[in-house]
Chain A
Amino acid sequence: MITAAVQEREHYLNASYGIKSWLLTKDHKRIGLLYLATITLFFFLGGAFATLIRIELLTPQGDLVSSETYNKLFTMHGVAMVFFFLIPSIPATLGNFFLPMMIGARDLAFPRINLLSWYLLVVGGLFSLFAMLAGGVDTGWTFYTPYSTTYSNTWVIATAVGIFIAGFSSILTGLNFIVTVHRMRAPGMTWFRMPLFVWSNYATAVIQVLGTPVLAVTLLLVFCERVFHIGIFDPALGGDPVLFQHLFWFYSHPAVYIMVLPAMGVISELVSVYSRKAVFGYGFVAFSSVAIAVLGFLVWGHHLFVSTQSVYAGMVFSFLSYFVAIPSAIKVFNWTATLYKGSISYATPMLYAFGFIGLFTIGGLTGLFVASLGIDVHVTDTYFVIAHFHYIMVGGTIMAYLGGLHYWWPKMTGRMYPEGWAKLSALIIFLGFNLTFFPQFILGYMGMPRRYAAYPPEFQVLHVLSTAGASVLAVGYLMPMIYFIWSLRYGKMAGANPWGATGLEWKTDSPPPLHNFDETPVVTQDAYDYSQVMGEVIEVG
């Protein structure tokens, strides 16, 4: 009887068919999947650029590609990964799919704007893709002036226009999330009953809404300066290129928190579910997201320690940057405390969560190194910085993204992924990641500068280790791609709640019906109420 119902039941995937039903959909779940496909494409594109970078760096001479080409490779790697993968990654896919479900809503507040935001990402992506195919861009993903405005002879305008458009996608997603959290919560879903994933996406949305317009206007000015030759940042006219850096980092530092805050939200969900315990210090974890969002706006000057920024400003920015460590550490300590006396099961998502906690801690602590003025002067623009932010963005965000994807895959598709393969790939990714990026800390500390195709021979051993690690990492990333697609057809059918989780998204069928819930849920408990099942271990199969 039940199986028959599962076979015939109408859900969001079989409610309508055809390409039009996807391209014109207003369903947040389908839009989440559209985002998933789009950013996966950009992830592998950015990965291809990274592969070429790592192969070039196998030998000390610049022999595989010319320096000009190398400049384009690391620029396009950065542009594809930052603006078209990491920024939309968790909020636009998992957030889009699950934020409304987790608060018991039928959809986001503005479904049409949600679809528009996907189209904006696609159009922006096409502009940048065009720039890449037409000849590339070589300014670095940071577009520093006056190189980007005056000297570079590459496709700066097309890339900048692409990022400008994609920025509005991010703004609209943020706007939609804020309004949805304020106005669409189900009866009984108070602010302090919301899952922490919702809190962290809310904090992220605030950054998206306040920060992204500043990047937009900055790129607009760069555009005007290149096209109309006005001179806001032109030193020849008395303009200040460092003003560009201030404006750019006013967005791009908080953007780091756009990437990592949703990841922290995912980890809060995973740690709780797989240790059968409520998150320790719920309120602290919730408010630490908000604190990170606020503090994130006050630290951009730490990217300008070696510019003409005054030393006193540098001291203040250094001090404020240290402050960000407090809410970040609160999260790490609370996750760890959640594990204490929990019934821990080592399902794949939990492996990713453990990976995140360790790697994020290393990335965060090395962040303190580069936030202190003296050490930063030594390691500025070296591989130390590269390693630091890859520990946050790859070791942090992508680990959590993959963890979340595994965790919610049964809900999204109605099928289980193959647990054995998934565990293996999680292990491969963890090992490959560390082999790739840990040597880069040492390289950077020894003085290897970023953005060079050639380097002194004594650095070769560490570079070879790093490239070897990148190969392992590539295998690790290809595996989920393959078995996720495989599971769509051959995966075990998933029930409504394979993990025995408490969230509202698990109280409806997998895959969810068109409007998420057959009737609007009424919430009577706090999030993560595992008191009934404490001590029980999830069977991982």
Chain B
Amino acid sequence: MANEAHAHAETLALREQFDTAEQQKDASTLGMWIFLVTEIMFFGGMFLAYTIYRSTFPAVFALASSSLNVYIGAANTVVLLCSSFTMVLAVRAAQLGQRRAIVIFLILTLILGGIFLGVKAYEWNEKFQEHHIPGPSFHLEGTNEQGHAQLFFSLYFAMTGLHALHMVIGAGLLIFFIFKARQGIYNADYNTPVDLAGLYWHFVDIIWIFLFPLLYLIDRHLGK
């Protein structure tokens, strides 16, 4: 029974444009890495804007940065790192053909990702209440440069917003793969999709690893 399902999965999996499963796996993996390169360029525009404005207005950026809650941000970073860990475990489970374990670890990853997004929403809500949203009612205590402070928060919302959007897309992918994994499609011979979903998830994680210090820790870098 198991063997039959196994053979069935493999024939289902090889698409007609490929000659071998290996060629298909290579092509898919290369495609995913190229996609991640495009993502780097995509985020790159925002990182460039950040670099320029932070070096132009260092003092007010440090001040604005200090209004963010570092402890919540740090805790959320840990949550996200844990989700990457459970994602790795899911990929490993797929490679070993442990079908139940794949589903469990994907669900855990989804839950941790959900916690991250929940905390992020809480932080944004806080910003709303503190009048840190760029616009006419913006106000940041302790500086005359309200415009420059708004630049910081413009970047904060644009960058964390784009990151959160990627998390939401990642969560959608996870749900899709949980359903697929429950059907028992992935096994020791055919697990590339899980592997690629993992690559995407780690990429989004790495973006956050850069965002956290750049947005939350500016004034600490200045030694205050």
Contact = CB atoms under 8 A, between A and B. Distances in A.
Contact of A183 (B23, B37, B145, B154): B23
A217 interface: yes
B150 A247 contact: no
Given A109-B27, A111-B17, A230-B158, A171 B38 contact: yes
Contacts of B162: 217, 220
Contacts of A216: 42
Contacts of A212: 38
Interface string A203-215: 0000001111110
A238 interface: yes
A224 interface: yes
Contact of A179 (B16, B31, B48): B31
Given A183-B26, A239-B151, A109 B45 contact: no
A178 interface: yes
Contacts of A211: 41
Interface in B26-51: 26-27, 30-31, 34-35, 37-39, 41-46, 48-49
A238 B148 contact: yes
A239 B158 contact: no
A218 interface: yes
B42 A217 contact: yes
Nearest to B17: A107
B75 interface: no
B52 interface: yes
A182 B150 CA distance: 46
A243 B49 contact: yes
B116 to A, nearest CB: 22
Contacts of B26: 183
Nearest to A112: B15
A428 interface: no
Interface in A93-132: 105-111, 113
B30 A182 contact: yes
Interface string A224-251: 1000111110001111100100010000
B34 A178 contact: yes
A183 B30 CA distance: 9
B30 A240 contact: no
Interface string B1-38: 00000000000000111010001001100110011011
A228 B31 CA distance: 34
A515 B48 CA distance: 45
A209 B27 contact: no
A221 interface: yes
Interface string B165-191: 000000000000000000000000000
B17 A108 contact: yes
Contacts of A210: 37-38, 41
B96 to A, nearest CB: 26
Contacts of B39: 213
A350 interface: no
Interface string A137-153: 00000000000000000
A224 B157 CA distance: 10
A217 B16 contact: no
B122 interface: no
Contacts of A111: 15, 17
A378 B148 CA distance: 36
Interface in A148-190: 171, 175-176, 178-179, 182-184
A107 B46 CA distance: 36
Given A217-B42, A232-B49, A238-B57, A209 B17 contact: no
B142 interface: no
A109 B24 CA distance: 8
B48 A232 contact: no
A250 B31 CA distance: 23
A230 B159 CA distance: 12
Contacts of A183: 23, 26-27, 30
A237 B148 contact: yes
A216 B162 CA distance: 12
A237 B42 contact: no
Contacts of B145: 238
B135 interface: yes
Contacts of A228: 134, 157
A221 B162 CA distance: 11
Interface string A7-36: 000000000000000000000000000000
B118 interface: no
Contacts of A240: 52
A239 B53 contact: yes
A106 B19 CA distance: 10
A270 to B, nearest CB: 28
A230 B31 contact: no
Contact of B158 (A224, A236, A238): A224
B135 to A, nearest CB: 5
A243 B54 CA distance: 14
B53 A214 contact: no
Interface string A318-355: 00000000000000000000000000000000000000
Nearest to B38: A213
A243 B48 CA distance: 9
B154 A213 contact: no
Contact of A229 (B43, B48, B56, B135): B135
A105 B135 CA distance: 55
B134 A229 contact: yes
Contacts of B46: 217, 221
Interface of A: 105-111, 113, 171, 175-176, 178-179, 182-184, 209-214, 216-218, 220-221, 224, 228-232, 236-240, 243, 247, 515, 520
Interface of B: 15-17, 19, 23, 26-27, 30-31, 34-35, 37-39, 41-46, 48-49, 52-53, 56-57, 134-135, 145, 147-148, 150-151, 153-155, 157-158, 162
28 contacts: A111-B15, A171-B38, A175-B38, A176-B31, A184-B23, A184-B27, A209-B34, A210-B38, A211-B41, A213-B39, A213-B45, A214-B41, A214-B45, A216-B42, A217-B42, A217-B162, A220-B162, A228-B134, A230-B153, A230-B158, A231-B150, A236-B147, A237-B148, A237-B154, A238-B56, A239-B151, A247-B45, A515-B16
List 9 tightest A-B contacts by C-beta distance, closest first: A217-B45, A230-B154, A213-B42, A237-B147, A213-B41, A107-B17, A183-B27, A109-B27, A238-B148
Given A230-B134, A232-B155, A247-B48, 6 more contacts: A178-B34, A182-B27, A209-B38, A214-B45, A231-B134, A239-B151
